[in-house]
Amino acid sequence: MHWTCLRFEALSVQQLYDVLALRSEVFVVEQNCVFLDIDGLDPKTLHLLGSGDDGALQAYARLIPPGLKAPDALIGRVVTSPTARGGGTGRALMAEAVAQCELLWPGHAITLHAQAHLERFYGGFGFVPVGEQYMEDGIPHIEMRKPVQ
């Protein structure tokens, strides 16, 4: 897996297209969630792209700086391509996302809004539940936070 972490303005047109296509394929089509993915935050965030040896986008996460949407850094839009699942791509993505946040924003906790069935997965990276489950786009979610180490 080849990792690239870029500001919005550094994304190529092809990279942006690939990101939006993957997010749409998984969040809108596969998970059957009709929501406004283009929410105005992309130009203000960093974009973590994981590409295979063939250059195809296999994993993606959006890294939101502290103070933009919450006091903590946020990891969002975490997604792996259906063709890349089952081989550790999701774990590699989360390890890289956490490492990037800690490098970019040392001294800040990291928050994410996890689909509730993935609570244990994110717990393996040091995230702990904050509050109760809630519904978002028809899917149970839970806020999780990784304290400053």
Is residue 130 very low, low, confident or very high in pLDDT (cuts 50, 70, 90)?
very high
Is residue 29 very low, low, confident or very high in pLDDT (cuts 50, 70, 90)?
confident
Q: What pLDDT score was predicted for residue 23?
A: 95
Mean pLDDT of the chain: 95
CA atoms within 13 A on the CB side of 121: 17
Structural domains in the chain plus CATH codes:
2-146 (3.40.630.30)
Q: d(Cα 10, Cα 48) in Å, to the nearest integer?
A: 12
Task: Indicate whether 42 pLDDT > 90.
Answer: yes
Q: d(Cα 8, Cα 91) in Å, to the nearest integer?
A: 24
Q: What pLDDT score was predicted for residue 32?
A: 80
Nearest to residue 64, comparing CAs of 129, 108, 121? Answer: 108
The single-letter code of the amino acid at 82 is P
pLDDT in tens, 55-87: 999 999 999 999 999 999 999 999 999 999 999
